[in-house]
Structure 1
């Protein structure tokens, strides 16, 4: 290319390739929308992302006005009150933000996560090293009404086994990043439970990297909070890695629950399964599920499937469900996706009522069974029973408010 042509193309309003001319509003070449999931810009600096307007692809379903303090305000990055239950082979410590163990699983792709990353002072690191299975509960309760930032790192050493339950309760205005790092041969289940108070607002981005022949089960259970948005990204970047992303949620009147799930197959012979199931009841109940699966050219032999199911229990609700699948290689074992949103099945109700079960009890049984598929994967009887009771309490309170 001659210097004159190069200068003409670089100049505002100059002629581009094939005679295309830049618009007068400038930066025409950089206004092309991101075409694939992997092309999204990434940065740990909040100033690298423009202010959120709600028109962006990653924010267009979210109530951004309610999240303004977390997106554009000043966040308190000091240590959050947290309790970690003791277990053999498990350590918990606070590490500075410049520690080399931070940033291994992924970095932000949007302003909310970048704001939290820019603000936190120390990260809470939980390390599992035992090859015998252990259970660890990491509990936060009542963080207050001031906007806060947090950062958590969960690491499973090679061949470690464990279950980590992240319990979120009480009041909160929280934006956070959670990193999950699995060594080769590790097997880890991470459960994030959102049972916040009614006015809580929570933005969470979870990033995971899965080692060779390692297996991660990531489970999200969202029940409480005014606005809750939990976005897990699982990167299968080592051969033989397995990732399962499961979710259960129940939105009642005026509640917004959102989950954007990303499975990134980078290495050969990796496997993933995504199953999210939600129920909605009450005026203004809103759920959003977006599932992205990317099978890169290097991920030969991939086996992947994602699905989302929503059960609508009353009028005045809205469930958005968007599965996306990108395949860059033809050499895969299988890939697919499915999505369905439907009303309560009257035939199920008729069957149960014909056997003497009152209507409200029948509805509880159907919803409980619908969500149990996800909750039963937790593998901790006490937590599973408590969450089943919480689902039934949601049903009872929503039914009472509707009368």
Structure 2
């Protein structure tokens, strides 16, 4: 079923000139947590986040007393390692940009590194299952793909935990990496993570982030370019239920000529105090001639009592670009569309399910793994059934 923009949709956004480091963050990126002030909720990068629900991740009071079980299933030729903090690959993609990410970087003991050698084309995905076993945990993961290789990686989060982590993607020249990150946590989980991709020359990076569970999930996907010709596609879908806070804060730094980025995130919300936040920052620096970029956010509000904050930002420092744009819309069901379906004998609950499936369908298809696509659509159906 084709997507339609909900009736009564609204848009919001800004086009400005300046640096995000000056306008929307309180401190410069750093590996040292001491370089970041303790947030109080008035800072631009924290104003939407309920700090009291971070369980001390933001102010240094969180104590690592829990655990996660990590299982990696990888095709032949993939190298899976557990390394110490002195491994040279750690931190190569970029520095933490907020206090929680810096706390996670300063606190982890061991990191997992998954390497796909040069000129390797994987026909099966690498699957990383992260299952929370309770308590507070700090984590760090690096996924490195060599030049001219192709791979799909699935990062699947389940269980209960408070997890603060950094995930790095190192994408070699001419390589193609697709990463699907699923947040299917239990009801009380808290997950805060920075995902940073360093995209090599003529390389392609596709990210699909799917968020369902958790009490609070705050993810910060970031893209930087290591050479001309890099492409980044960032897709996301989230289904925010009663009492949940789900926040996605994207930043794409176009500091290299002739690179491309495309962003499309969609969310559905239902239930009292369901709160979704989407921040999309794209910076085109003066040196980034030939840039082509676009970002889109759509939100479908299913019930009263839910709240969406959607803020696209596009900052341009050179006029020598191919194109740049953004769009944001939030609205309720289209009554005419529901009436059309019900007039043809489709019950109201089924009509509602078809509309939501159509809304998410295009993004789910970006995953390209039938078993995972079926699981996620079944999860969407279950969320809808629970609200009836």
Report what 1:343 is aligned to: 332
Report what 1:68 is aligned to: 55
Report what 2:321 is aligned to: 332
Q: Is the 8 A contact 2:26 2:36 kept in 1?
A: no
Match among 33, 50, 56 for residue 43 of structure 2: 56
SS of equivalent to 1:69: coil
Q: Cα–Cα, structure 1 residues 228 and 196, in superposed 2: closer, same or farther, change >3 Å? A: same
SS of equivalent to 2:22: coil
Report what 2:354 is aligned to: 365
Higher helix share: 1
Q: Is the 8 A contact 1:77 1:150 kept in 2?
A: no
Q: Is the 8 A contact 1:194 1:221 kept in 2?
A: yes
Tell me if 1:99 matches 2:74: no
- Cα-Cα RMSD: 1.6
TM-score (norm 1): 0.88
SS of equivalent to 1:342: strand
Report what 1:125 is aligned to: 113
Unaligned stretches of 5+ in structure 2? 1-19
Q: Cα–Cα, structure 1 residues 379 and 179, in superposed 2: closer, same or farther, change >3 Å? A: same
Q: CA deviation at 1:38?
A: 8.9
Report what 1:35 is aligned to: 22
Report what 2:301 is aligned to: 312
Q: Cα–Cα, structure 1 residues 37 and 181, in superposed 2: closer, same or farther, change >3 Å? A: farther
Q: Cα–Cα, structure 1 residues 34 and 242, in superposed 2: closer, same or farther, change >3 Å? A: closer
Distance 1:351 1:78 in 2: 51
Distance 1:247 1:186 in 2: 22
SS of equivalent to 2:53: helix
Match among 285, 289, 295 for residue 284 of structure 2: 295
SS of equivalent to 2:148: coil
1:85-141 deviation per Cα after TM superposition (whole angstroms, max 9, x unaligned): 020221111011111011111111110101100100111101112234431110011
SS of equivalent to 2:69: coil
Q: Is the 8 A contact 2:33 2:103 kept in 1?
A: yes
Distance 1:309 1:185 in 2: 32
SS of equivalent to 1:253: coil
Q: Is the 8 A contact 1:106 1:207 kept in 2?
A: yes
Distance 1:125 1:280 in 2: 35
After superposing the two structures, state which structure 1 stretch, 387-396 or 75-84, moved more: 75-84
1:130-183 deviation per Cα after TM superposition (whole angstroms, max 9, x unaligned): 234431110011331x21100000111101111100000010111000000100
Q: Cα–Cα, structure 1 residues 357 and 78, in superposed 2: closer, same or farther, change >3 Å? A: closer
Higher relative contact order (CA closer than 8 Å, sequence separation 6+): 2
TM-score (norm 2): 0.91
1:357-387 deviation per Cα after TM superposition (whole angstroms, max 9, x unaligned): 1001111111111112211101101001000
SS of equivalent to 1:171: strand
Q: Is the 8 A contact 1:95 1:122 kept in 2?
A: yes
Q: Is the 8 A contact 2:228 2:259 kept in 1?
A: yes
Q: CA deviation at 1:225?
A: 0.5
Distance 1:391 1:98 in 2: 42
Q: CA deviation at 1:192?
A: 0.6
